[in-house]
Amino acid sequence: MSHVTGIYDEPELYLLSCAYRDVPAEATALQSWFGEHGSIGRGLVKHERGADAGKSAGAGPEAGSVLELAAGPAEHARELASRGLRVTALDRSPAMCGYAAARAREAGLGLEVVEADMRDFSLPRRFDAAITMLNSLCHLLTLDDMVAHLRTVAAHLVPGGLYVIELSHPADHFGPTSKTTSEWVIESGGTRAEVRWGEGDSIDPLTQITDEHMSIIARDPDGTVRTAADVVPSRFWTFTEMTAATRLAGGLSLAATYGDFDSTALDAPDAWRMILILRRD
Ligand SMILES: C[S@@+](CC[C@H](N)C(=O)[O-])C[C@H]1O[C@@H](n2cnc3c(N)ncnc32)[C@H](O)[C@@H]1O
């Protein structure tokens, strides 16, 4: 299994490349799904932005617990921690873990950060919910890895706990035109970044793996230019593969599907994400 290096060693540039996301809105959607599909009580849905919510001592034992996997800079984990949930962020990149822990510390958030592999980890507690955002499961390149991952997650959820997975939409590969763009420009905090991700890369029809070429050129307000370039092997997962992998793993069942964070249906014409909600049996 190849190791992901490069862009994930540059958390700030990585964050710039996906600054188009509305993380608070996505966190609100996650909390609403936790309430709708989970059977683990109200601890996950309270929304206490601001004040002292989420400060190290603020998330009490009654607060719901969330595990973010392949969390990278842990934007969603930090957002949920700021709302008073007890949150752990797991990633295998030391740079990403260091960045997430530093930002959480600066914000006074009680975020736990764990450096580990999402296919095989062991934490001493069970969570009310787990999340994996932004197609990060594309880094699992084989069915064996996906099944091992789902088994490990199931073992870390309480009965009735939820696992929310965001993947790219299958229409990106099967539809007449891709649902997403592979080239974009983004401005954030005065920095202007030109991003290319997967442009012109073809998918291996046998392995469903693409060696995605990415580059980012960021121009800061003071004229500094920062660049990163990388090749990131990514596996494209279909809906039927994900449901089959879930059955093979055991302990989890499909509870709901969505095509966007506004609860668009997965098969709607404007669906552009594949969001699966699995429930621990
Ligand atoms: C596309 S980034 C996404 C980060 C974050 N989920 C987000 O939404 O911004 C993918 C992350 O997956 C991590 N990753 C890749 N393979 C992993 C593995 N086997 N175990 C844990 N983390 C992994 C990388 O280090 C990187 O931080």
Distance in Å, CA 102 to ligand 1 centroid: 17
Name the fold adopted by 7-172+238-280. Answer: Rossmann fold (3.40.50)
Alpha-carbon distances of 61 from 57, 58, 111, 150, 187, rounded to whole Å: 10, 10, 14, 26, 39
- pLDDT of 2: 41
Distance in Å, CA 223 to ligand 1 centroid: 30
- pLDDT of 199: 82
Low-confidence ranges of the chain (pLDDT < 70): 1-5, 39-43, 46-61
- pLDDT of 122: 98
CA-CA distance, 14 to 7, in Å (whole number)? 6
Pocket probe mutation, ligand 1, options 1, 8, 12, max atoms within 8 Å of Cβ: 8
The structure tokens listed for 214 are 């990415």
pLDDT in tens, 101-137: 999 999 999 999 999 999 999 999 999 999 999 999 9
Angle 168-235-172 from CA coordinates, rounded to 5°:
35
Q: Is the CB of 155 under 6 A from ligand 1?
A: no
Q: What is the CATH number of domain 174-234?
A: 2.20.25.110
Pocket probe mutation, ligand 1, options 139, 142, 153, max atoms within 8 Å of Cβ: 139
Residue 258 β-bridge partners: 275
The secondary structure of 98-147 as a DSSP string is HHHHHHHHHTTB--EEEE-BTTB---SS-EEEEEE-TTGGGG--SHHHHH
**Counting atoms of ligand 1 from 1, which one is nearest the CA of 145?**
19
Helices (H), 134-238: 143-155, 171-174
Domain boundaries, the chain: 7-172+238-280, 174-234
Distance in Å, CA 72 to ligand 1 centroid: 5
Q: Is the CB of 15 under 6 A from ligand 1?
A: no
- pLDDT of 50: 47
Angle 91-92-95 from CA coordinates, rounded to 5°:
85
